Amino acid sequence: MVGHRGLRRRITVLGSTGSVGCSTIDVIRAHGGAETYDVRALTGGRNAALLAEQARIVGARRAVIRDEAMLPDLRAALAGSGIEAAAGEAALLEAAGEGADLCLSAIAGAAGLAPTLAAIRAGSTVALANKESLVCAGPLVRAAVAEAGTRLLPVDSEHSAIFQVLEERHAEAIDRLILTASGGPFRDWPLERMRAVTPEQALDHPNWSMGAGISLDSATMFNKGLELIEAEQLFPVPGEAIEILVHPQSIVHSMVGYRDGSVLAQLGTPDMRTPIAYALGWPARVDAPVERLDFVALARLDFEAPDAARFPALRIAREAMAAGGLVPCAMNAAKEVAARAFLDRAIPFLDIAALVEDVLEGFDPSPAADIDDVIAADALARTRAREALDRRARRSA
């Protein structure tokens, strides 16, 4: 991939040791590695061994680990490679703000917001796999993109699908967006059975191989609620014109409906390396090491409406989107606390959504003036969520 002035395309990957980050390394390696891309930096959370291995594979110039206690391990793993090792929040923001041609933002959760903004302000095109950046601070992110004169390339499979088939020159003719959802592992479970769901069952996604956080979000369908809010921020369509449809095979990744009745869809095997490759190659298309779709073997595609009783997260997300301001940020923060509590076996599965609703009741919908407002709302929602957990624990004691 040739970048500016005939040079290799400069790339930074934020969150390279997570599931999306690992898939990104696969795509970079499959498409020529260091011969094709100038990898300026890779960043990770705590897995120094994997981060060092990835940096060596793609010939990265720098490897940054967020947990400063892991810096000695990272340095030891990179000894003799000539790759710079750094650690801590400041080093992460420095790597993000270096100004690569493309920065793939894949840090999970609200922690990805500040690095994403740093990359945007540095003028990088940002391939966004961190949906929380737009959920928590969509207007701030979009304003930063406009000011820097750059753009976002969506990496979530659903938003990448829409991006690929949305005809910008005919934006006024768009009638609706249709986000597809696998339905997760509990799509057809009765509510009574869902009350006894274990963390192991919730993390066993039927179609996708993902990290624990997004696997659980898929099981509750909070991931689709986040994607609903993200889609409203990314595309020229009001929230009420965005539909969600359960599609168990995860082959149709999303669709765009037009006023003439046409519906354009992007299809592919459920493999994150396809949307990652699309972002890394954009505006061209590059090879991706994925299985090709076999329609004869597939035979059928099924669709159904999501069950509102089983998955209240969708209603909660729509209400948060309608409220606007900092309410979506609070929803995400409360969801992260509730999800952690479930994985720690402190609350049952169905209480995840209930706890989020408790936190959002009466939450101030004022818009964020800056990132400090976002950070404050996130912290307040987390505090409220922990207080709600304490109340539940006292009642059950």
- Model confidence over 186-195: pLDDT tens digits? 988 998 999 9
Distance between CA 152 and CA 394 in Å, rounded? 45
pLDDT of res. 168: 84
- pLDDT of 282: 94
Neighbours of 203 (CB within 10 A): 18
33-37, 126-130, 173-177, 252-256 — which is least confidently predicted?
Answer: 33-37
- The residues, ordered by sequence, that sit 6+ positions from 44 with a Cβ below 8 Å of its Cβ are 15, 16, 17, 18, 21, 50, 51, 63, 64, 65, 66
Alpha-carbon gap, residue 38 to 128, rounded angstroms: 19
Q: State residue 4's pLDDT score.
A: 42
Q: What is the pLDDT of residues 157-182, one digit of tens each?
A: 999 999 999 988 888 999 999 999 99
Give the chain's end-to-end CA distance (angstroms, integer): 60
Is the whole-model pTM more than 0.85?
Answer: yes
Average pLDDT of the residues in 130-148: 94
- Condensed to tens digits (0 to 9), the pLDDT of residues 24-68 reads 999 999 988 889 999 999 999 999 999 999 999 999 999 999 999
- Give residue limits of the domains in the chain: 4-155
**According to the model, what pLDDT value does residue 342 have?**
96
In the prediction, which pLDDT does 397 show? Answer: 66
> Which pLDDT value is given to residue 269?
94
Domain 4-155 falls in which CATH fold?
Rossmann fold (3.40.50)
